[in-house]
Amino acid sequence: MIEVTKYWLSPTALVPNSPWPLLHYKNVLNKGDDSEACVPIEAWDRFTGNGWEVQWLYRYGQTQDSHFHSGVHECMAVLSGTATIRFGAGDKSEDLDANTTGSAFEAGGVEIEANAGDVFVIPAGVAHKTHNTRPESAFRLLSPGCGRGVEAENPRQALVGLPLTGFTMIGAYPQGSEWDALRGGGDFEAVWRVPKPERDPVFGEAEVEVDVAIIGGGASGSYAAVRLREDFNKTVLVIEKAGKLPAAGRPIDYGVEAYLNRETTIAFFKRFNVGLIDPTLASDIELLLLTKNVDFSTGLPVDVSYGPVDLVGVPVAFLEYTSYAVKYQAWFANGYFQTGDVPDDLLLSFGDFLAKYDLGGSLGILRNLLWLSDALNMPTWFVMSVVGLPQIQAFGLGLIGPSFKWPATYSAETLYERVLDLLGDDVLLGSTVVSSQRSDSGVELTVQTPSGQKTVKAKKLLVAAPPSPNNVGSWDLDDNEALLFGKFSWETLFVGVVQDTGFPSHATGIRNAPNDPSRYYLPHGSFTDAFSKADTGTGADLWTTRVLGVAGLSASEAQTMIYQSLTQMGEAGTYDIASPSLVAFTDHGANAPKVSAADLKDGFYNKLYALQGQRSTYWTGFAWAPDYSSILWDFTETLFPGIISGI
């Protein structure tokens, strides 16, 4: 990633300097084969391609007069050697020794060591003086002409083979510009009014203006971008830190495994001509019979018992749990919009809730849907938000069959590849927001991309990335936002695919069941949660797996846990595990945001939702609604009227 440093230089008595920053792009240009010098035609191609005209290539002597250009911005690229360049200060004497090595120059400037590969973009009015060049050489114009254009039948080719010895630089200016050189004086205000170039000479478009900027290109951000651009005719830009949108490039969908059968979901897949099919989910009874319970810490099988007659007691308890999911569904319907006093049941720890209503047997089925690191000790609210009525209905209640939907390709890969193809240049991959300014009149973001920094100006901002501690530092939070986001606690989630496990082919899954009936055989903390047979449609011996953990669990620690679980089962003789390999692995980062029961009771989500629209910003993603793509898409739909209002 290219390092870009900005310097703001104030006016002095002699030089105007500029309201625009001096830009220093470090080590941008490539060096030639077996050479310490950069290739001039690479600079030519880059600058001319971005609308800047190369006018000279000089070898510099030991020093020069400080000067500025009053009517044009300048780009200088170092091709060879090293030198010191003083910016922002005028010479106070005509004696070169005095104003170079002495003190006969103004205060307030900055001296920068310039090396081969560096590029400087110098705004009109910014004084600059190159001195202390190494290796020492005599000053000379190397390009044909007089330094105001490369005068040759083929100017580009004329730069090939020039003797790049000593300290050499190539200079360019916005197309059609003519430069002057002033030591001091002039009309400062006229200099400050020189318009900003349309394109950055190094990276092209340095400033982007859109209707809506979107931070996060996951399920919510991608969906919003497509809807806003295609259906509401708004210009958008998605800023995604990963190098691809979710699931792109996966042969197996080992993260998001199914979608709820909803109109928005069907329409979104249909838009991209991706089919949806019924997955081959096991029925509730099959899950009881074919899922193997193993204590991953010992590798030994565990006789999990949730009641005297599991095949009857478990479904009955599950149906009773379902009745509570129906009772409290209003609190989770496409978001947390319900107002009023939160029911006491939802404030109980999930362990206490199970004990209160004797629902422990429901875990015989619910266990397959719980992706939480310590479900028993969190408020029931956060269990029911992810294993609530929509998920239970989709699961089919074990009576009518599942109504989840899977992509016909057995992966969301095709969907997100087509989303990316559609959005094209309206997505910045591998990019992060490094600073932001948010106000009622709009938003300005500084975005670090793989090719440098861009300024993004937007009328509205949609934040689809989770408000986790690693993300929020650059979001210009106000005190209230920081207070609310600081109440979240987080988990981590890693998912992967394993092959050559030695697991029995008739099993639907191998789940971690610590031999502790008092905790309903639920693991807690950081652990490998389960291995599930991957439905690829090919019969391949592949198993998806997931690791749940406390905040801060690293990817390497998670991978070690997966292998340790397999090793324990092999050493215990439970399964004939030979040489398993992790063939795919993804870090989902911060996951499962929760707050305390006290915060829930105090109206946390009402306060959180009050942030929508403030300072031109809207929020979506799994911190704002139950964590299921289909539900998040429906939640995001509720934001569109506010986002598009006034733009």
What does each C-alpha distance from 57 to 66, 159, 183, 336, 509 come to in angstroms? Answer: 19, 8, 21, 63, 68
Q: Is the pLDDT of residue 356 over 70?
A: yes
pLDDT grade for 249, boundaries at 50, 70 and 90: very low
User: CA 92, 96, 98: angle at the middle one, nearest 5?
Assistant: 60
Residue 39 CA to residue 19 CA, distance in Å, equals: 32
Q: Which of 160-169, 447-456, 501-510 has the highest mean pLDDT?
A: 160-169
Residue 429 CA to residue 246 CA, distance in Å, equals: 11
Mean pLDDT, range 347-366, rounded to an integer: 93
Q: pLDDT tens digits for 625-646? A: 998 999 999 999 999 999 999 9
The pLDDT, as a whole number, for residue 537 is: 56
Mean pLDDT, range 31-49, rounded to an integer: 88
* Burial status of residue 552 (CB atoms within 10 A of its CB: 0-12, 13-18, 19 or more): exposed
Q: pLDDT tens digits for 13-35? A: 999 999 999 999 999 888 876 67
Domain 207-246+410-487+595-644 and domain 310-402, same fold? Reply is no
The pLDDT, as a whole number, for residue 315 is: 80
At 145, give phi and psi (nearest 5°). Answer: 120, -160
What does each C-alpha distance from 191 to 6, 11, 200 come to in angstroms? Answer: 19, 11, 19
Strand boundaries in 135-263, DSSP class E: 140-141, 167-174, 207-215, 236-239
Q: pLDDT tens digits for 53-63? A: 999 999 999 99
Q: pLDDT tens digits for 543-561? A: 989 999 999 999 999 999 9
The pLDDT, as a whole number, for residue 257 is: 60
Mean pLDDT, range 35-45, rounded to an integer: 91
Residue 347 CA to residue 378 CA, distance in Å, equals: 9
The pLDDT, as a whole number, for residue 285 is: 52
Q: Is the pLDDT of residue 96 over 90?
A: yes
Q: pLDDT tens digits for 168-192? A: 999 999 999 999 999 999 999 999 9
pLDDT grade for 309, boundaries at 50, 70 and 90: very low
547 near 527, Cβ under 8 Å?
yes
The pLDDT, as a whole number, for residue 284 is: 47
**How many other CB atoms are there within 10 angstroms of residue 17's CB atom?**
28
The pLDDT, as a whole number, for residue 247 is: 42
Q: What is the CATH number of domain 4-193?
A: 2.60.120.10
C-alpha 518: how far from its chain's center?
Answer: 40
Q: What is the mean pLDDT of the chain?
A: 90
Q: How many CA atoms lie within 13 A of 443 on its CB side?
A: 32
120 near 151, Cβ under 8 Å?
no
For the ranges 36-45, 199-208, 282-291, the lowest mean pLDDT is seen at 282-291
Q: Is the pLDDT of residue 280 over 70?
A: no
The pLDDT, as a whole number, for residue 538 is: 59
Could you tell me how many residues make up the chain?
A: 647
The pLDDT, as a whole number, for residue 252 is: 41
Give the residue, 627 or 411, on which the prediction is more confident.
627
Q: Is the pLDDT of residue 77 over 60?
A: yes
Domain ranges, ordered by start, for the chain: 4-193, 207-246+410-487+595-644, 310-402
491 near 551, Cβ under 8 Å?
yes
Token code pair at residue 580: 């398993």
Q: Is the pLDDT of residue 598 over 90?
A: yes
For the ranges 49-53, 169-173, 204-208, the lowest mean pLDDT is seen at 204-208
Q: What is the CATH number of domain 310-402?
A: 1.10.405.20
Quote the percentage of the chain above a pLDDT of 70: 92
Mean pLDDT, range 536-548, rounded to an integer: 79
Architecture of domain 207-246+410-487+595-644: 3-Layer(bba) Sandwich (3.50)
Mean pLDDT, range 301-330, rounded to an integer: 84
Give the residue, 225 or 254, on which the prediction is more confident.
225
**How many other CB atoms are there within 10 angstroms of residue 355's CB atom?**
14
Q: Is the pLDDT of residue 452 over 80?
A: no
**Of 198, 206, 199, the residue nearest 4 (C-alpha):** 206
* 3-class state of residue 302 by DSSP: coil
pLDDT grade for 404, boundaries at 50, 70 and 90: confident
pLDDT grade for 350, boundaries at 50, 70 and 90: very high
The pLDDT, as a whole number, for residue 248 is: 41
pLDDT grade for 542, boundaries at 50, 70 and 90: confident
Mean pLDDT, range 435-453, rounded to an integer: 90
Mean pLDDT, range 371-380, rounded to an integer: 94
CB within 8 Å of 630: residues ≥ 6 apart: 259, 260, 262, 264, 265, 390
Q: pLDDT tens digits for 377-391? A: 999 999 999 999 988
The pLDDT, as a whole number, for residue 307 is: 58
Q: Is the pLDDT of residue 428 over 70?
A: yes
pLDDT grade for 147, boundaries at 50, 70 and 90: very high
